[in-house]
Structure 1
């Protein structure tokens, strides 16, 4: 028997309970016949005022992920889309592999995670060796992103941590703030702009900036959802979210 609405795929989409961006952005990118079933990783609205408290907060998200996975699996999704990103960069390529393997074993299905998805997005577009990236994180987590990218031969020539003071404050970072940071980081040495941090809303803005700048601008929610669709064999071209979903 086939699900009436999710007749092509049922995706379990996971994100921290404080995250107000993943669910609407990924729902907007959803093609016909695919359904998203959101599961919240229960966490408090952490006060991140230093590198140490930021790391502690992301570790709490990590600890709650398995319960959220078990919860969403009761609707028998075909695939998981992991809408939290910081923890998927920790420990470089090996750390991401271990983390994802655990999720896949717990769930019994395959998954897309942010760190791997942005690398696969850059591979698909091609010609990307140097990036500038922005995040809502603290510097300690940006260092993890930088190290992860280096494992794939991608050099981060510039980065900007917004140092959001709480998890919900990430979603309050404005398009104007993002534009100003991108403008400061970009130069001729940068092949692409990358955004990480799934509660930082940039899916639509990235598409606009890409047209204005004439180079790839990759938003992590777009990359992760794109990776899930393509890995699951769904090749629909979706407009409004940049070249990644429109061309690859």
Structure 2
């Protein structure tokens, strides 16, 4: 018999223990009959202001991601979202397939959604190649994100890093700061704006920005959930969180 609260889809979600934005944003996106089940990658709120610090945070995430995935597979989810951005970009496009395969193996072969695949699918749905990107990072993280998008064939016209010094403090970025970042990186040549970083609470700002810019504004948590729903047969149009969930 199907799960009584999640008869249509049960979504396993893993996020760093420092992340307080992904879980509430993803829960707000749930269609009827879909449930989310969250596991935590246990990490400390260490500084990531330079390359050794960023590497240390990445090492902590790598050590804790597979145990976090296994912690949610016990409830029998239909798919898993890996809600952490730096791991997706840090080693470049060549390593992404290997990283994704390792996540699937940890999930027992379940479908796994990660940011690069979700964002690529969203940009393809919008037929957008000329992009601007918002990250929560300092230059040490921005460089890897920029390289990833360039290597993936996008024309990266602008990138704005919010300069947050530690993982937990990413959630402190205000909606006003995000609004200003969108204004700063937008131009007539930009076909879509992409925000990376799952501890950035940008779902509401992105939806509003799409309305007044008239172009796609893709927030990390929304695109992950959209991709997971659509890959697993849930086609409900969820309104209020931008064009991806409402129209695609």
Pairwise same-fold verdict (TM > 0.5):
yes
The aligned residue for residue 174 of structure 1 is: 174
- Equivalent pairs counted in the alignment come to 247
The aligned residue for residue 23 of structure 1 is: 23
The aligned residue for residue 117 of structure 1 is: 118
> Contact 1:90–1:96 at 8 Å: present in 2 too?
no
The aligned residue for residue 14 of structure 2 is: 14
Is 1:204 matched up with 2:201?
no
> Contact 1:19–1:171 at 8 Å: present in 2 too?
yes
The aligned residue for residue 55 of structure 1 is: 55
Report the TM-score, using the length of structure 2 for normalisation: 0.96
Deviations 1:31-55 (Å, cap 9, x if unpaired)?
A: 1111100001101111222233123
The aligned residue for residue 161 of structure 2 is: 161
The aligned residue for residue 217 of structure 1 is: 217
Matches of 2:35 and 2:233, distance apart in 1: 15
Which structure 1 segments of 5+ residues have no match? none
Matches of 2:30 and 2:147, distance apart in 1: 31
Which structure 2 segments of 5+ residues have no match? none
Task: Give 1:122 deviation, angstroms.
Answer: 0.4
The aligned residue for residue 3 of structure 1 is: 3
**Aligned pair in 2 of structure 1 residues 221, 91: CA closer, same or farther (>3 Å)?**
same
Deviations 1:140-182 (Å, cap 9, x if unpaired)?
A: 3222222222233212111111121221110111111111122
Matches of 1:141 and 1:36, distance apart in 2: 29
What is the aligned-residue RMSD (CA, Å)? Answer: 1.2
Task: Give 1:134 deviation, angstroms.
Answer: 0.8
Question: SS of 1:25's equivalent?
Answer: helix
The aligned residue for residue 102 of structure 2 is: 102
The aligned residue for residue 231 of structure 2 is: 231
Deviates more, 1:110-119 or 1:135-144: 135-144
Deviations 1:103-154 (Å, cap 9, x if unpaired)?
A: 101212111001211111100111x111111111122322222222223321
Report the TM-score, using the length of structure 1 for normalisation: 0.96
Is 1:66 matched up with 2:80?
no
